Structures are given as structure tokens and as C-alpha cells.
Structure 1
Amino acid sequence: MRKPTILIADDHPILLRGLETFLQDHKHNVIATCTDGKKAYNAIVKQKPDIAILDIDMPNLTGIEIAKNCKRHNLDTKIILITLHKEKKIYENAMRYNIHGYLLKEFALNEIEVCLEKVINGESYFSKKIYKRFLKTSDANAMLENLTPSEIKILKLVAEEMTSNEIANMLNISPRTVSNHRGNIVKKLKLHPKPNALLIWAQKHKELIE
């Protein structure tokens, strides 16, 4: 069985060399290494590797921009991205640009073998911490879709630690109306009716409701 061909791109030479050595030591077929995004994309077009392992933050073209170009030009290379960050839109980008794997740099060497096995078999792989974050974020987004625009507006103010009276004054409505809205939000978010439960949830997911 033919070993899949692999291209690696990272603008940090030490990290690039370390990953290349690791993969070669584990008998993987690394056919090219690149230190910037444009060179990586050109190499993908020319050499058509089965898999490209790309750093997200690179000069000239980012890993995501390379993935966009690959999809736009119907290139078959499967993209695995490596990042230092837990980006908010990881899952959205993965679905939109047909990215097959996301690894955090701190765990890359520990997870790359499993990731490659999954990708070679036509599956996707996310670093465990990224996957957990995605699950929590997607669940929260699904719940937020059940809220009305007025409830979202109140939830934003709750996240700012405003009281019901302060919210009522700002929105020019009665405190009772605010309390009713808050009660409905608690039910829709399936929160336990305990003190500060709504405030804790709103602050935890503040970036989703901004």
C-alpha cells in the first residue's frame, strides 16, 4: 500500500524541522517542507501531496487562506492545521474550507499520528481541547438561537453585571418586564433557578452574545 505523501509548512524552522524529523522517524513520506504560506500553496499545486500539515500563522498566506485556495481550485490535498490558539471560528472554518484536522501546537507531536490515521481513512480530527471547546460553543449557540432579540439584548446587559432595575431604566421598560424576560431566558437556556446562574452563564459565553 502506497504511503500518503505529506507536505509540512511552518515559519518557525525549529518546529518545522522537529515535525519533519518526527514524521520521518515514524516512516511517513514527507515530500516537501516550506517556511511561508505562498511557497506552501505553490508546492501543493505543483506536487499535489495527499496531506498538507500547515501552521495557521505564516507570512504571505495563512493556513486558512491556503485551505480556501485549495477548495476554490478543487485541489484534493487534505489540510491539517496546527495552531497556538483556540480560535472561536475553528469549526466554522473547518466545515467551510474542508479542513480535515486541527491540532494545537503544544500537543501536535502527541496527536499527529492519530490525526494522520484518521485523515488517511477519510475522517476528521480535532485536538481534544479544541473539540471540547467546540462542543461547548455549539451547544451554547444552539440555545441562543431560541432567544428573541429582546432576550438577547437583556442577556448582553446581564453579562455586564447590570441589575434588573438598571436594565429597565436603560431599555425604558418596567423592572417586572425585565424579570419576566430573565425568567424566560433561564428556562430556554435550561439553567438551574439559583442565584447568579444567569449572570455566570452570560459571562462565560460573553463572546457569543456580543
Structure 2
Amino acid sequence: MATVIIIDDHPMIRLATKLLVEQDGHRVIANANNALEGVQRILALHPEMVVLDIDLPPFDGIEVVKRVRGADYCGKILMMTGKQDIKLVKRSIDAGANGFVYKSNDYQELSAAVQAVDCGYSYFPMLDAIARATLIDEEQADEMLSLLTRRERQIIMCLAKGMRNKDIAYFLNISHKTVSAHKVNLMQKLGLTNEMKIAEFIVRHNLG
């Protein structure tokens, strides 16, 4: 089983992750609540695995990966984020991460990801989903986008920039409930069943 460092700026997430990791038989040797401290502890302690949030001060988790890989750290790195943004997955892979999970998924997936990465496998199921998705040609995509109202197009472009519902509401000066209603409508028009499918559509058609 692996020695692990957990890096996340939310104490409750650090604790929940620690309990899950230890329940699976791994040993947490340190944690950190910011990116700079995380880099220092990784390079000082050389854990076999790092479980790392992307949204960190003073620089993001992807930069953490770049810095420790640049310093020849060869351990496993599993990324976590609350943002449903497929571009973060690709950036994490490019930086040298071994796996990626969304915090919005249940902790059983985190457990599965830790086990897979510890065994030497990569863990990027969201990319597998994209590879399996039926591709829509650009003419079809344009026709589908033309079904959207002006407000729905604004919202999908905001989503393409990685904005959350509350950020979109503030940016467009509308309520959070209105954003949610427009998202439901645009998903129905585009034939998308969840937020991951929205992300896949955005990436496939270069809307970001």
C-alpha cells in the first residue's frame, strides 16, 4: 500500500480524503492546505502518491504537478476538482498526472481512482466517455446551436469558460434558478443528459 500526501485547501475535504485513503489501507504521511506547502512536502517526503486539488492558493494544482515533475518526482499523482471542465483533465495529463476525479462524484469513485493509480494504471474515465460518444459533424452542431435562445447561447459559452452557476448568474445579472432553468432547456435541445455531456459537447465543437 502507498504512502500518501493530501493537498487541499478545505479541511473537511482533507479529513474525508484521509479517512477514505486510510480505510483502503494506505498511509497518509502529511497534508498541505496550499500549493507552495504542497510542493515543499512532496519534494521533502517523496510519497508514493499525492492526492491533489486543482483549486489551490497561491497557484493551482496543475502548476504543482509541473513543479514536482520538473524536480524529478516520480510518484503517482491523482487530481481532484469541483469544476466540471474537461480541459482541466487534458491539462493535468499534459502536466504529468496519473488520474483525475471530480469532487461532485461519490467517494467510491475516489477510492477506485486511488486503487487504480496505486496499481500503476491511469484513471481518466471522463476521457473514455468522450471517446465513446457519437461525434456530431459541424453542420449538425450549428443546427443544434441555432435552436438555442440568445440567453441559452450566452450560458453555454459561460459554461465553456468553466464558470459555475453562481458566477453565470452574477455575470448575466439573473438569478441562480434562472440559470438552472436555462441549462435544463439547452440540455434538452442539444440532447445532453448531464453536465459532463455539456462539457463533452463544448470540447468537441471548440466552444471554449
Interval of TM-score (by shorter of Structure 1 and Structure 2): 0.5 to 0.7
Paired-residue identity, %:
21
Amino acid corresponding to residue 131 of structure 2 in structure 1? L
Structure of greater relative contact order (alpha carbons < 8 Å, 6+ residues apart): 2
Report the alpha carbon displacement of residue 37 of structure 1 after superposing the two structures with TM: 1.1
**2 CA distance for matches of 1:58 and 1:38?**
9
Partner of 1:209: 206
Partner of 2:164: none
Task: List per-residue Cα deviations over 1:29-58 (Å, max 9, x = no partner).
Answer: 110011111111110111111110011101
3-state DSSP class of the match of 2:98?
Answer: strand
Change in 2 beyond 3 A, CA 1:135/1:31? same
**1 CA distance for matches of 2:130 and 2:71?**
28
Change in 2 beyond 3 A, CA 1:206/1:104? closer
Partner of 2:4: 6
Amino acid corresponding to residue 135 of structure 1 in structure 2? A
Report the alpha carbon displacement of residue 120 of structure 1 after superposing the two structures with TM: 1.8
Report the alpha carbon displacement of residue 22 of structure 1 after superposing the two structures with TM: 2.3
> Aligned Cα RMSD in Å?
2.8
- The one of 18, 23, 38 equivalent to 2:21 is 23
In 1, are the aligned partners of 2:50 and 2:76 still within 8 Å (CA)?
yes
The TM-score with structure 1 as length reference comes to 0.63
Unaligned stretches of 5+ residues in structure 2? 148-188, 192-197
Change in 2 beyond 3 A, CA 1:69/1:160? same
The TM-score with structure 2 as length reference comes to 0.63
Report the alpha carbon displacement of residue 105 of structure 1 after superposing the two structures with TM: 1.0
In 1, are the aligned partners of 2:89 and 2:100 still within 8 Å (CA)?
no
Task: List per-residue Cα deviations over 1:69-116 (Å, max 9, x = no partner).
Answer: 122222112210111122131442243122111111133521233222
- The one of 127, 131, 134 equivalent to 1:135 is 131
Change in 2 beyond 3 A, CA 1:206/1:115? closer
Amino acid corresponding to residue 146 of structure 2 in structure 1? E
Amino acid corresponding to residue 83 of structure 1 in structure 2? T
Partner of 2:121: 123
Partner of 2:73: 75
3-state DSSP class of the match of 1:70?
Answer: helix
Larger radius of gyration: 1
Change in 2 beyond 3 A, CA 1:157/1:93? same
3-state DSSP class of the match of 2:30?
Answer: strand
- The one of 56, 59, 62 equivalent to 2:57 is 59
Unaligned stretches of 5+ residues in structure 1? 145-151, 163-198
2:95 is aligned with 1:97: yes
Count of residue pairs the alignment pairs up: 157
